[in-house]
Every structure is written in C-alpha cells, then in structure tokens.
Structure 1
Amino acid sequence: MVAQLPPGTDGVDAGKTGALTGTEQTAVVPRSDPSVPLPFTRTVFEGTGGRGPVHTRPKPKRWGPYSVAQWLGAAVVGGAALVVLAAMAVLAVRWLLSLDVMQEFLGTYPGEYHLPDSAPVGIPAWLGWQHFFNFFLIALIIRSGLQVRHETRPSAFWSPRGNPGRKINLSLWFHQSLDILWVTNGLIYVVLLFTTGQWVRVVPTSWDVFPNAVSAALQYVSLDWPTENGWVNYNALQQIAYFSTVFIAAPLAIATGVRMSGIWPKRAKLLSSWYPIEVARAIHYPTMLYFCVFIVTHVLLVLATGALRNLNHMFASQGSIQPDAYAANWLGFWLFVASLIAVGAALVAARPLILAPIARLFGTVSSR
C-alpha cells in the first residue's frame, strides 16, 4: 500500500515520497489543532499560576546596611554574645584574683594612692556648676555635630554682617557657637582647678597611679568593686580617665575643630600643608565617640557605686570623709534630674525655628 506523505512532514521531503513496505511503514499523525475541542470531558483544569497579578512584598526600609528586623536580630545575638563573654571575663578575673600573688598585689596596690598632704578635701560649688555646664554644652555639641555631619539639605544659612560672602548652614553656626562657650567654660575650669589646688585630684602625682589603675580595673571586672569615696580621693583608674578627658581629649577636639572651622586662615598654605584638614577630620569624629563612651560609662558607674552619695558630691557639693555619709540625702538626685530635664529641653528646642532669631543677633539668616 502506498502512503502519500505531505511535504515537510516530520522531516520527510516531498521528493522522497514513495512506497514504504514492511517495517518501514509508519503512520504519520498530523499535529492536533488547539482550536478543536477535545472529544471528552476535561478533567484537569488550568491553574492561575503565571496569569494572575504578581504580588511582590515591599522591601523593608533599611537603616544603613540592615533593616530594622536585621538590626534587632544582630542586637539580640550580639547582646547574648557580650553577656557570655562578660561572664567568662568575670569568672576568669575572679579566679586570677584568688591566687596568692594577686592577693599580695591587691594589698600593695588597692586601687588608689595617697594624695599630697596639701590636697583639698571635697568638691566645691564652683566645680559642681562647671560639671553641669560642661555636661549641658557637650550634649548639645554632640547633637549639633552629628546633625552637621549628616545634614544634606540645610533649611537655613547664616553669614556674619561684616562678611556676607561667608555663608554657613545654621546647624554649623550653632555647633561652632557652642564650641566657643564650651572652650570658655573649659578655660575657666582649668584656671580654677590650678588656683584652688583641685588639680591634684585629676592629675597623677605618682607613678603608683599605673599599678593602682590595673588593680582598680581588675576589681571592676571581678564585680568586687574597689571601695571609693570621691569626696576625698578618686581611684587611679578614675584619675587617669578624668586626666585623659580634660587634658588630652578636650584639646584634641579643640585643635581639630579649629582646623575644620572658618577661623583657620585660608591663606596659610604652609601651615595647612603641615596640618591637613583630612587629618583633623580623621581625629575629630573618633574624639567625639570617646566623649560619648566616657559619658555613658561615667554615668553608669556613678549610679552603680552609690548613686545618692555620688550625686550629692557632684551636684549638691555635699559630702564627708566617711564614705557612707549623705547616702540617704536626695538633694543631689533631684538636682541631677533637673539637669537632665534642662538638657532634654535644650536638645528639643535646638531647631531652626528657635535658633534663627538668636542667630540674627550676630549676623544674617537666610534660606539660601
């Protein structure tokens, strides 16, 4: 039987059409026409996949490299890791301090050394006021400095009356104005510190400060904290921290801030080449971070090592040679709360609506 193959069917050319016999006979079935309905009832129905609207989840808002959920997860994991590491450190140091050689070390260096006989006792009222003013100004300086660093579209600008061509944004004017007040307050503090003899409390006067600082640090880590009475004497670790803050970190902040400000002479090319602005920027921000760490650590230790007594020393200028004196007096605590309210109110009020009228007293404020 001869089967006629349509040309182009399954690769069979019309010129090769001929008789197929035996095993070579094949049945050629034409392709089905999708327009012709099936001769039986459909039992499998088409799904909607690929045809319906595509619903995509909005990407979570990111704060830096991570989303809020990722930051929370990192905080939980990191916090748990820190707790474990802290517990291990406490156990290791407690074991170390139980050794005879370390007990002898603690006996020789209890964490503080005796001040000179001429050292004053107590914290005068002027020192308490200086402490508050410094806290008030440094909080505003840190806040305004971060605003200057991250502000992309300033809402207002300030220029001095004598030099309208020099224009800076209002946040930078506020930051630099606070710097001037902070430096002035610091100079008054240093002058009073040396004229009243209070400098011996924050400036090391003996090489014993270093082994005593190691002793105090080990005692803090072991949670068996050194006995202290800031009314009479700071421990060696406190003294080094206060000295570093007053006489190292503060001058660094001032020197780098001056280099980055408009006070720096632009025509002093040789001086600028010796002290590039990139160096100032690289030092200024870490110095601010140091102040943040110092403030947080300082406040936590003040509250954890006898809050009422320590707050009475710093804010009420009340104290005694006896370490537990004024431990039940709440005056210093309420003055501390009032200072926190004052700082919080200043941080909230530091916005263009309030800063602009003050800035106009010293120059011209414009939106461009």
Structure 2
Amino acid sequence: MVTTRKSSSKETTLKKKMGPYARKTILTTAVVVAMVAVVLAAKWLRSSGVIDGFLADYPGHARLPETSPTGFPAWLGWQHFLNMFFLVLIIRSGWQVRRTTRPDAYWTRHNKGFIRTKGSPAKISLDLWLHLSVDILWLINGLVFVILLGVTGHWMRIVPTSWDVIPNALSAAVQYASLDWPTEDSWISYNALQLLAYFLVVFVAAPLAFATGVRMSGIWPQQAARLNRAYPIAVARSVHFPVMVFFVLFVVVHVFLVLTTGVLRNLNHIYAGTDDAGWLGFGLFVGSLVVISATVVLARPVFLRPVASLMGKVSKR
C-alpha cells in the first residue's frame, strides 16, 4: 500500500515536471508543422499557375503618392536606433516585472516638485520604475518621430494611401511564404506588407501599449469609479502583454529580413543613410548592439539605485 502511494506520488510529480516541457514541445511542433504547411501551400499555389494573374496585377508594391520622398534621412537613423534601444529595455524590464516575485529593491516617488499628489505615492519595484521611465523616453521619441514623419512627408512611406495596398500585401505574403521573395528596394519604397506592418507598429501597437500601460500605472485615477468601470484594468492587462509579444515577433521578423535581403545595403540605408553595399552601416550596427548590450548588463539595481534616487526614495522593502 505504501509502495503504491509512493509510486503514485512519483508519477504525479513527474507529470508536473513534464507538463510545461510537454506543452512547449507540442506547441513548438505545431508551429513548425503549420509553417511547413504554409510554405508548401504557397509553393503549390505559385507552381500551379492558379494565382499567376493575381501576382501579375498585384506584384506586391502598392502605389505611393508622386510626392513620396525616397531614401533615409539622418534623423530617421537616429530615431531607429533610439527606438531599438528603448524597446529592448522596455521588453526586458517588462518581462522582469512580470516574472519577478521578490524584487531586489523598491522605489517611492518624491511627492514634491512638478509632480505632486494629494495621496501618498505608491511604492513600486525598481524594475517597474525602470520600465515606466524608459516608457516615457520611448513615447517622447515616438512623438518626435511622428512629427518628423508629418513634416518631412515620410509618412507616405508607411501610411496606406490607396486600397491596392491590401491585394499587394497578400501578394507579398504569398511570395514570402513560397520562399521566392518579392523584389526589395526599400530606398524607394517598402513593399505593401512591410508598409502595413510599419503602419500597425507606429499607429496601432504603440498607442495600444501606451493606453494599456497608463491604465496599469500609478498615474491612473484609482478613485474615478465610472472611468474604471468603462476601462477595467483587467482589459488593459489582457491587451498589454500580447502587444509586447507582437513587438517581439515584429523585431524578430524585421531583423531576419534585414539580414537575409541584402544585409550591407539594408544596414547602410538605416544607419549610414546611403544606398550602397559598403561596410559603414554594418560597423554602426555592431556599435549600436554593443551600446544596447552594455546598457542591458548595467541595468541592475546597483547601477539603477543612484539614478532612481534622484527622483524618489529607493529601499529594499
């Protein structure tokens, strides 16, 4: 009897240990199978000739206004670097906030100066302080980016201006899926699928991240009963994390395409502002990775405490 109970207990323990691993294995296998199926289906569509007419009519590039600018100005390169820099820190700190149960340090805002409230400021983890602080910098950078897009006319490169962007995006998606990728010339224009992706990132995902982040932050008026009923915090939480996952997936796909569709030329576009295959852009890219990696390594309590102390009180509890 004792042996049976011990055996049952061991089996239960084993199932608990194997549960997450098994689920991850099944999920990974399902994703791989689905990707292979998509590739095979796309290849069949293209080889069968069923969509030849569609691809001829919609090659993957939507029409842009005649006044649409070309090239990548210097400000866009800086904006790209800062966005990448802030986004990496946001994702890392957000993941730490989500996964850490016992933070190493806490931060309480000084209730004086420019920001002053009637109630006592809430104590938050140092990870959350970093997350919110970088969020603010990311939003400022994004606001500057949108303003410059409007002033310079570069908004036309990432905002749909004609309905043919939809069939062209479908065409580009089929071409990507079939592993026979559409012709790229991002110096002139993005293909329709890229255009829609950038539009979603800038004008949908980023505002969603802001709107849900504000609802979950301490600046939200907790006593506003009607407002809280209209916009429950549970809704914000259910959207905020998927938005982060979307950003991660976008970054992964974006980097993959940059590296596999003419890496030197692509890096020169965004880092050096030139349309050639030299090594300057690659060197600047490597330098940016060094800066970002060093910042991630240094984003620890021992280095964050002095900075956080300038704006509040840092404590262990």
Q: TM-score, normalised by structure 2?
A: 0.88
Aligned to 2:126: 170
* Counterpart among 101, 104, 118 of residue 155 in structure 1: 104
Distance 2:101 2:254 in 1: 33
For 2:17 and 2:44, the matched residues in 1 are separated by: 40
Task: Give the structure with higher Rg (CA).
Answer: 1
> Which whole-Å CA distance do the structure 2 matches of 1:100 and 1:290 have between them?
34
Q: CA deviation at 1:330?
A: 1.1
Structure 2 residue 43 is the aligned partner of structure 1 residue 94: yes
1:1-368 alignment, distance < 5 Å: 66=17, 71=21, 83=32, 85-162=34-111, 165-166=120-121, 167-319=123-275, 326-327=276-277, 329-368=278-317
Q: Give the drift of 1:155.
A: 1.9
Separation in 2, partners of 1:83, 1:365:
46
Shift of 1:86: 3.7
Residues 210 and 65 (structure 1), Cα distance of their counterparts in 2 relative to 1, 3 Å cut? farther
**Aligned pairs, number:** 304
Q: 1:66 to 1:334 in 2, by over 3 A?
A: farther
Deviations 1:16-43 (A, max 9, x none): xxxxxxxxxxxxxxxxxxxxxxxxxxxx
Question: Shift in Å at residue 101 of structure 1?
Answer: 4.2
Contact 1:308 1:330 in 2 (8 A): yes
- Segments ≥4 residues shifted beyond 4 Å: 64-68, 73-85
Structure 1 residue 84 displacement after superposition: 5.2
Deviation track 1:266-314 (CA, whole Å, cap 9, x = no partner) reads 2222111111111111111111111011100110011111111111111
C-alpha spacing 1:102/1:117, structure 2 compared with 1 (3 Å): same
Of the structure 1 ranges 151-160 and 347-356, higher mean CA displacement relative to structure 2 is found in 151-160
1:317-357 deviation digits (Å, cap 9, x = unpaired) = 111xxxxxx12x11111111111111111111111000000
Q: Tell me the secondary structure at the aligned position of residue 76 of structure 2.
A: helix
Unaligned runs of 5+ in 2: 1-9, 113-118
- TM-align CA RMSD: 2.6
User: Going by fraction, where is helix more abundant, 1 or 2?
Assistant: 2
Aligned letter for 1:165? S
Does the C-alpha gap of structure 1 residues 362 and 85 become closer, same or farther in structure 2, counting only changes over 3 Å?
Answer: closer
Displacement of 1:211 in angstroms is: 0.2
SS at match of 1:207: coil
Give yes or no for contact 1:252–1:284 (8 Å, CA) kept in 2. yes
Name the amino acid aligned to 1:157.
Y
CA distance in 2, matches of 1:210, 1:65: 46
- 8 A Cα contact 1:159 1:165, kept in partner: no
Change (3 A) 1:80 1:349: same
Deviation at 1:76, TM superposition (A): 7.0
Q: Distance in 1 between matches of 2:138 and 2:256?
A: 24
One-letter amino acid of the counterpart of residue 125, structure 2: N
- What is the match of residue 7 of structure 2? none
Q: Is the Cα–Cα contact under 8 Å of residues 156 and 367 in structure 1 kept in the other structure?
A: yes
Q: What are structure 1's unaligned runs of at least 5 residues?
A: 1-57, 320-325
Write the distance in 2 (CA, Å) between the matches of 1:79 and 1:282. Answer: 23
Contact 2:42 2:174 in 1 (8 A): yes
The DSSP-based 3-state class of the residue aligned with 1:98 is helix
Tell me: CA distance 1:75–1:262, structure 2 relative to 1, closer, same or farther (3 Å). Answer: closer
| Distance in 2 (alpha carbons) for counterparts of 1:187 and 1:272 | 27
2:115 matched to which residue of 1? none
TM-score calculated relative to the size of structure 1: 0.76
2:63 and 2:164 in contact (8 A); partners too: no
By how many angstroms is 1:143 displaced? 0.7
